[in-house]
Structure 1
C-alpha cells in the first residue's frame, strides 16, 4: 500500500517535471493559472503536518479548550489571510513575503524576514521527517523505518527541485485528498471500536470535568485562553502561507482560496477531533501518548496500519515540500542577491537563481535528515515553537502595516523589530512566571507595531521609502 501511494506521488511529480521551466517566476510561484481548488488544497496540505495526526488525536483528553482552540485556529488563520489577500493587489507581482517587506521597507527587513523563516522551516522539516520515522516504526515492523523515511524524503526533494511549485501543487492536491479521506475512514473505524452508540460517547465525554463549558476559557485562566485564541489570527502570516497569495491570479482568488481553506480545514479538524474522541472513549485512560499508539496498533488489522501510515506520510510530505520550496525561493531570490556586491548581482540570471534554489533544497534536506534522526522530538518541537513565537512579533506587524499602506524608513522598521524581539524575552523573564504561558505573539507583535508608529511620527526626518514602479518591476521579472 505504501509503495502504491509513493508511486502515485512519483507519477504526479513526473507529470509536472516534464514541462520545461524557462524563468524563475514560474518555478517560484507558477504562471498564476492555478485553480482555486488547487490553491485551497495546497494551503490545507501545508497547514496539516504529521504532528496533527500523531499528537492531536491522542491529546483529546486535555479537554474542550484544546479541541475548540484547534478548530477555531485553522478558521482564524485562514480568514485573516483571506482578509490580507484582498488588500495585496499592489504586491501580487511579488515572489515572496520577504520581497514585499523589502519593497516596502528596505534590504535588511527583507533579509531578516527570510532568515527567520528559513531557520523555522528547517526545524519544521526535521520534525516532519522525525514524525514520519515514528509513524513507520509504529505501523510497520517488516520494513526498516529508516529506509522508507529516506526514500520518501529523496522523492519529495527530487520533485521539489526539478518540478518547482507546479509539482508541489499537484502532489499537495493528491496528498490532501488522501489524508482527508483517510481521516474520515479512521473516524468510522474508531467509532466501531468503542462498541457504544454516539449518544453514549457524547454522554461519557460530557461527564468529564475538562469538557464542561466553563473550561472553554480554561476555567480560572481566562486571560491565558484569550491570548491563545487571539494568537491564532496571526501565527500563519508567514512566507509558506502568504506564498499562496502570490500564486493566485488575483486578490479575489486568494480571498476565496483562504476562505474555502478555513471552512474545509475546520471540517477536517472536526474529523480529527472525532477520532480523538473515540480513542479517548476506547483506550484506557492511564496510557501515555506512545502507549496509546501501541494499544491502537495491537487492536487493529494490518490494512488499517497501512492506511494510518499513508495518512502520516501524506501529511508530512505535503508540509515538508512546501517548506523546502519557500526556503529555496527566499535564499536564491531574497538573500543571495542582497548580500552580493552590485557588480555580481547584475550578473545573476535565471539559471543562477535556479541552481541556487536547487542547492538550497539539497542542503536543507541534508541538514534536516540527521537533525530529525539524531535529536529528540521534544527538543526539536520546542525549538520550532520558539522560532514561531519569535517570528510573529518581529515580522508580522511590519508586514500587516505594509499591506495596509504604511511606509516608513528602514531604521524605523528595524527599531520596531528589535522592540518586538526584546518584548518576547521580556515576556519570558517577567510575565511567564505570573501567567505561566508563552503565548506572547499578540502582545509582543503589538509592541512592535506601536514602537514603529511612535518612532515614525515623533522621530524627525522620517521619510517614506519610495517604492519601485510596479509595472516596470513586473516587466523586468
Structure 2
C-alpha cells in the first residue's frame, strides 16, 4: 500500500486523543456532580478552551471558509458574533452567584420558575444538540472522504465517533475538558498552518491580495450593513448576542469556581475566538483569490485537495476532526446531564423521584449518550441528513424567543409564577410564526429572534404586574444536589 501521510496524521491525532482521554478516565467518578460539572477546580485556561472547542464545529472549517466570497458583511458578522456571544455570557456569568452551584441551565430555569419551564428548556436543547452531533459526524465523514482514499472513510468516521462516545461516558466532564483542551490547541495550530500554506498557493503578495479583494463590490464598507438592507443587517448583528445563551455554553458557568472566573473565561474566549475567526477569514480570503470563482461549497474543497500536497490534506482533515470531536463530545455530555438530571426526575411520580440516587443519575447519563449517538450516526450518514440541517435552522429561530428572555430575567433576579413564564414562552413561539407570516414578506428576512425574544419578555413582565395574584410557587423538591 502506498504511504499515505494524511492517514498517518489522522491516526496520530486519534491516538493522542485516546491517550488524553485515558488519562482522564483513570480517575474513577462515583457520584453525579463531579461527572456533570467536575469539582469546580478547572483552570480558566481549560474552561476557555472548552468554550472555544464547543463553539467551533466542523462547519466553521467546511462551510464558513468557502463562503468568504459572500462579502464583508458575512466576514464581519462571524467575527463580531463570537465576541458578542462570549461577552454576553461573561456578563451573565457575573450575575449568577446564586445559581453557581447548579448543574445545568434547565435547573436554573426550574428553580426560578418551576418544573415545566425546566423540562421545555431541556427538551429543546436535547433535540438541537442531537442534531448538532449528527451535523458534526456528517462533516467529519465528508472531510475524510475528500482527503483520504487509501481506507474506507466510513470506518474512520465510525471509529472516531465510538472514541468520543467512550470517553464521554466513562470520563465525564473531566475527559471532555482535557480532550477539548488538546483538540483546541490542535485546530488552532493547524488553522494557522493551513492559512500559511494556502497563502503560498496564491503566488501573490499579501498586498496584492488585499488590493484585489478591496476592488470587489461586496467588500466595500457600505456592505457592512448590507448596503440597502440595514434593518436586516442590524437584526442579524443583534441576534449574535443571544444565540449562545443555551445549556452547552452556560454549562461552563456552573463548572467555574466563582462568577469572577466565569466572567474571565468568556472574556478570554471572546478575544481568542475572534483571533481564530480572523485566521479562518484569512484562509477564506486566500481561497477566494486562488480558487476559480465558478466553484462553490464542496467543489472548492475538491479543487483544493486536487491541487495541494498530501501534507495539506492531512492538515485539513485533522483540523476538521479536532473541531467536530470537540463539539460533539460537549453536546453529548450536556444532553446526558439534562436527560438524567432535568428530564427523568421531573417526569417520574414523586414516590419514584425520591428514590433516585446519584448512581441512578450516573447510569441514566451513560444510557443517554449511547442512545443519542445511536440516533445521530444514521441521521448523519443517511440520505435524511437534510432533515437535520433544516431542523438546526428552525431551532435557531425558535429557541431564543422561547427560553432566553425568562433565563435573563431569572439571572437579573426576577421571580414570577410558572404560569406567567409559560404564557411568555407561548407568546414568544407564536411571535416567530407571526413574523414568518406577516413580517417576512415585508422585510425578506427570518432573523426574528431578538424582536420575538423581546415579545416574550414583555409578555412575562406584563402578565406578572398586571395579572393579580402572581406569587411565585416553589418548585417541588427545590433543593440542590449536594455532592
Tell me, in whole angstroms, the C-alpha distance in 2 between the residues paired with 1:291 and 1:328: 37
- Write the distance in 1 (CA, Å) between the matches of 2:476 and 2:208: 64
Residue correspondence of structure 1 range 93-104 to structure 2 within 5 A: 93-104=101-112
**Alpha-carbon distance in structure 1 between the residues aligned to 2:444 and 2:286:** 31
Q: Runs (4+) of structure 1 moved beyond 3 Å? A: 375-379, 465-470
Offset at residue 378 of structure 1 (A): 4.3
What's the TM-score, normalizing by structure 1? 0.98
In the alignment, does 2:197 pair up with 1:189?
Answer: yes
Question: CA, structure 1 residues 376+63, in 2 after alignment: closer, same or farther (shift >3 Å)?
Answer: farther
Number of the residue aligned with 1:450: 458
- Give 1:251 shift: 0.2
Please state if 1:234 is matched with 2:235: no
Distance in structure 2 (CA, Å) of the matches to 1:264 and 1:83: 17
Matches for 1:35-46 after TM superposition, within 5 Å: 35-46=43-54
Q: Which digits, 9 at most, give the CA deviation of each residue in 1:36-82, with x for residues without a partner?
A: 00000000000000000000111000000000000000000000000
Correspondence 1:190-209 to 2 at 5 A: 190-209=198-217
Query: Which shows bigger deviation, 433-442 or 45-54?
Result: 433-442
Equivalence for 2:4? none
2:253 to 245, 263, 271: 245
What is the CA deviation profile of residues 149-196 of structure 1, one whole-angstrom value per residue up to 9, with x for unaligned ones? 000000000000000000000000000000000000011111111111
Pick from 399, 407, 432: which aligns with 1:399? Answer: 407
Give 2:21's aligned residue. 13
**Out of 129, 146, 151, which is 2:159 matched to?**
151
1:468 CA displacement: 9.4
Cα distance in structure 2, aligned partners of 1:314 and 1:282: 26
1:108-127 deviation line (CA, Å, top 9, x unaligned): 00000000000010111100
Instruction: List alignment gaps of at least 5 residues for structure 2.
Output: 1-8
The one of 121, 127, 131 equivalent to 2:129 is 121
Q: State yes or no: 1:350 paired with 2:354.
A: no
Q: Which runs of 5+ in 1 are unaligned?
A: none
- Once the two structures are TM-superposed, the CA of residue 380 in structure 1 deviates from its matched residue by 2.2
Q: Aligned-pair distance for 1:368?
A: 0.2
> 1:473, CA displacement in angstroms?
3.0
- 365-374 or 435-444: bigger deviation: 435-444
Counterpart Cα distance in 2 of 1:147 and 1:22: 33
Q: Residue 142 of structure 1 is aligned with which of 120, 143, 150? A: 150
- Paired residue for 2:382? 374
Q: Cα RMSD over matched residues?
A: 1.2
Give distance in 1, aligned partners of 2:384 and 2:206.
Answer: 38
Which residue is equivalent to 2:480? 473
Tell me which residue corresponds to 1:422. Answer: 430
Find the counterpart in structure 2 of residue 293 from structure 1. Answer: 301
Q: TM-score by structure 2 length?
A: 0.97
Mapped partners of 1:76, 1:465: distance in 2: 34
Counterparts in 2 of 1:248-397, with a 5 A limit? Answer: 248-375=256-383, 377-397=385-405
**Corresponding residue for residue 31 of structure 1:** 39
By how many angstroms is 1:430 displaced? 1.2
Q: CA deviation at 1:377?
A: 4.8
Residues 424 and 456, structure 2, Cα contact 8 Å, conserved in 1: yes
Deviation at 1:142, TM superposition (A): 1.1
Partner SS state of residue 480, structure 2 = helix
Number of corresponding residues: 475
Q: Write the distance in 2 (CA, Å) between the matches of 1:150 and 1:344.
A: 37
- SS of the equivalent of 1:255 reads helix
